[in-house]
Amino acid sequence: KNPAITLLLGRLELANGSLTKALDYANKAISLKNNYVEGYVFRSQLKVQNNDISAAIQDFQAAAYYSENNPQIILQLGVLLYNLKQYENTVSILEKLVAVMPDYSDARYFLGLAYDKLGLADDAIIQFVQIQKMNPDNQEIIQILKNIRAGQSALSLQAVSQASNDSTTLKR
Protein backbone atom coordinates (compact mmCIF):
# COMPACT_ATOMS: atom_id res chain seq x y z
CA LYS A 1 0.00 0.00 0.00
CA ASN A 2 3.03 2.29 -0.25
CA PRO A 3 2.36 4.80 -3.07
CA ALA A 4 6.09 5.29 -3.63
CA ILE A 5 6.45 1.66 -4.70
CA THR A 6 3.45 1.95 -6.99
CA LEU A 7 4.85 5.13 -8.49
CA LEU A 8 8.21 3.43 -9.01
CA LEU A 9 6.43 0.72 -11.00
CA GLY A 10 4.89 3.51 -13.08
CA ARG A 11 8.30 5.00 -13.76
CA LEU A 12 9.55 1.58 -14.85
CA GLU A 13 6.61 1.22 -17.24
CA LEU A 14 7.39 4.63 -18.69
CA ALA A 15 11.03 3.62 -19.12
CA ASN A 16 9.78 0.55 -20.99
CA GLY A 17 7.72 2.76 -23.29
CA SER A 18 4.25 2.16 -21.88
CA LEU A 19 2.66 5.53 -21.21
CA THR A 20 -0.73 3.92 -20.57
CA LYS A 21 0.56 1.53 -17.90
CA ALA A 22 2.63 4.31 -16.33
CA LEU A 23 -0.51 6.44 -16.10
CA ASP A 24 -2.41 3.54 -14.53
CA TYR A 25 0.27 3.22 -11.83
CA ALA A 26 0.28 6.99 -11.22
CA ASN A 27 -3.49 6.90 -10.77
CA LYS A 28 -3.17 3.96 -8.38
CA ALA A 29 -0.47 5.73 -6.35
CA ILE A 30 -2.69 8.79 -5.98
CA SER A 31 -5.66 6.61 -5.01
CA LEU A 32 -3.51 5.04 -2.27
CA LYS A 33 -2.66 8.48 -0.92
CA ASN A 34 -4.78 11.33 -2.24
CA ASN A 35 -2.26 14.01 -1.20
CA TYR A 36 0.73 12.27 -2.79
CA VAL A 37 2.59 15.19 -4.38
CA GLU A 38 5.09 13.07 -6.31
CA GLY A 39 2.19 11.15 -7.82
CA TYR A 40 0.51 14.32 -9.05
CA VAL A 41 3.75 15.64 -10.51
CA PHE A 42 4.50 12.37 -12.30
CA ARG A 43 0.94 12.07 -13.59
CA SER A 44 1.09 15.65 -14.81
CA GLN A 45 4.25 14.88 -16.77
CA LEU A 46 2.57 11.84 -18.29
CA LYS A 47 -0.47 13.88 -19.25
CA VAL A 48 1.75 16.46 -20.95
CA GLN A 49 3.30 13.64 -22.98
CA ASN A 50 -0.23 12.48 -23.81
CA ASN A 51 -1.23 16.05 -24.85
CA ASP A 52 -3.84 16.27 -22.08
CA ILE A 53 -2.67 19.72 -21.06
CA SER A 54 -5.66 20.89 -19.02
CA ALA A 55 -5.49 17.73 -16.89
CA ALA A 56 -1.72 18.20 -16.51
CA ILE A 57 -2.28 21.71 -15.21
CA GLN A 58 -4.90 20.44 -12.74
CA ASP A 59 -2.43 17.87 -11.43
CA PHE A 60 0.27 20.51 -10.94
CA GLN A 61 -2.26 22.68 -9.12
CA ALA A 62 -3.11 19.73 -6.85
CA ALA A 63 0.60 19.14 -6.22
CA ALA A 64 1.03 22.80 -5.28
CA TYR A 65 -1.96 22.63 -2.95
CA TYR A 66 -0.83 19.45 -1.19
CA SER A 67 2.79 20.54 -0.90
CA GLU A 68 1.77 23.70 0.95
CA ASN A 69 2.67 25.82 -2.04
CA ASN A 70 6.14 24.39 -2.59
CA PRO A 71 7.95 27.07 -4.63
CA GLN A 72 9.53 24.52 -6.97
CA ILE A 73 6.15 23.01 -7.82
CA ILE A 74 4.66 26.47 -8.37
CA LEU A 75 7.59 27.40 -10.59
CA GLN A 76 7.11 24.21 -12.62
CA LEU A 77 3.44 25.09 -13.04
CA GLY A 78 4.39 28.60 -14.16
CA VAL A 79 6.92 27.23 -16.66
CA LEU A 80 4.35 24.77 -17.99
CA LEU A 81 1.85 27.58 -18.49
CA TYR A 82 4.51 29.75 -20.13
CA ASN A 83 5.45 26.95 -22.53
CA LEU A 84 1.75 26.58 -23.38
CA LYS A 85 1.66 30.31 -24.19
CA GLN A 86 -0.76 30.97 -21.34
CA TYR A 87 1.06 34.14 -20.40
CA GLU A 88 -1.69 35.75 -18.29
CA ASN A 89 -1.92 32.60 -16.16
CA THR A 90 1.88 32.47 -15.92
CA VAL A 91 1.93 36.02 -14.63
CA SER A 92 -0.84 35.33 -12.12
CA ILE A 93 0.99 32.35 -10.62
CA LEU A 94 4.51 33.72 -10.67
CA GLU A 95 3.62 37.17 -9.32
CA LYS A 96 2.37 35.46 -6.16
CA LEU A 97 5.54 33.36 -5.92
CA VAL A 98 7.82 36.38 -6.37
CA ALA A 99 5.81 38.30 -3.76
CA VAL A 100 6.65 35.70 -1.10
CA MET A 101 10.11 34.82 -2.45
CA PRO A 102 11.55 38.01 -3.96
CA ASP A 103 15.02 36.46 -4.43
CA TYR A 104 13.77 33.52 -6.50
CA SER A 105 15.57 34.34 -9.76
CA ASP A 106 14.06 31.51 -11.78
CA ALA A 107 10.53 32.68 -10.94
CA ARG A 108 11.44 36.26 -11.83
CA TYR A 109 12.98 35.04 -15.09
CA PHE A 110 9.81 33.37 -16.36
CA LEU A 111 7.67 36.16 -14.96
CA GLY A 112 9.77 38.65 -16.93
CA LEU A 113 9.48 36.55 -20.08
CA ALA A 114 5.70 36.34 -19.66
CA TYR A 115 5.49 40.12 -19.18
CA ASP A 116 7.55 40.53 -22.33
CA LYS A 117 5.20 38.25 -24.30
CA LEU A 118 2.24 40.32 -23.06
CA GLY A 119 3.90 43.53 -24.25
CA LEU A 120 4.54 44.78 -20.71
CA ALA A 121 8.14 45.85 -21.29
CA ASP A 122 8.41 48.03 -18.18
CA ASP A 123 7.27 45.16 -15.94
CA ALA A 124 9.67 42.78 -17.70
CA ILE A 125 12.55 45.20 -17.19
CA ILE A 126 11.79 45.39 -13.46
CA GLN A 127 12.08 41.59 -13.19
CA PHE A 128 15.31 41.34 -15.16
CA VAL A 129 16.91 44.26 -13.29
CA GLN A 130 16.21 42.43 -10.03
CA ILE A 131 17.74 39.25 -11.47
CA GLN A 132 20.77 41.21 -12.64
CA LYS A 133 21.30 42.56 -9.12
CA MET A 134 21.51 38.96 -7.88
CA ASN A 135 23.49 37.72 -10.91
CA PRO A 136 25.57 40.70 -12.11
CA ASP A 137 27.81 38.70 -14.45
CA ASN A 138 25.07 36.74 -16.21
CA GLN A 139 25.43 37.64 -19.88
CA GLU A 140 22.01 36.30 -20.81
CA ILE A 141 20.28 38.71 -18.42
CA ILE A 142 22.40 41.62 -19.66
CA GLN A 143 21.43 40.79 -23.26
CA ILE A 144 17.75 40.35 -22.40
CA LEU A 145 17.71 43.80 -20.80
CA LYS A 146 19.40 45.29 -23.88
CA ASN A 147 16.84 43.62 -26.13
CA ILE A 148 13.80 44.80 -24.18
CA ARG A 149 15.14 48.34 -23.85
CA ALA A 150 15.74 48.36 -27.62
CA GLY A 151 12.10 47.40 -28.22
CA GLN A 152 12.94 43.81 -29.19
CA SER A 153 11.70 40.54 -27.80
CA ALA A 154 13.54 39.50 -24.65
CA LEU A 155 14.72 36.31 -26.30
CA SER A 156 15.47 37.65 -29.74
CA LEU A 157 18.02 35.68 -31.74
CA GLN A 158 20.73 37.96 -30.41
CA ALA A 159 19.90 36.99 -26.82
CA VAL A 160 19.58 33.29 -27.55
CA SER A 161 22.89 33.21 -29.38
CA GLN A 162 24.65 35.19 -26.67
CA ALA A 163 23.10 33.11 -23.90
CA SER A 164 24.20 29.82 -25.38
CA ASN A 165 27.79 31.06 -25.44
CA ASP A 166 28.07 33.06 -22.23
CA SER A 167 25.30 32.29 -19.80
CA THR A 168 25.95 31.36 -16.20
CA THR A 169 23.59 29.66 -13.78
CA LEU A 170 21.25 31.96 -11.91
CA LYS A 171 21.80 32.18 -8.18
CA ARG A 172 18.85 31.03 -6.14
Tens of pLDDT, residues 92-108: 999 999 999 999 999 99
Largest CA distance in the chain: 58
Query: How confident is the model over 19-36, as a mean pLDDT?
Result: 96
Residue 41 pLDDT class (50, 70, 90 cuts): very high
By three-state DSSP, how is residue 31 classified?
helix
Kindly state the average pLDDT of the residues 116-130: 97
- Alpha helices, DSSP H only, in 50-137? 53-66, 71-83, 87-100, 105-117, 121-134
pLDDT (average), residues 47-72: 88
- Local structure of 95: helix, strand or coil: helix
What is the CA 113 to chain-centroid distance, rounded?
Answer: 12
Q: How many CB atoms are closer than 10 A to CB 137?
A: 9
The pLDDT tens digits for 141-168 are 999 999 999 999 999 875 444 444 444 4
- Confidence (pLDDT) at 54: 85
Cα 118 versus chain centre, distance: 18
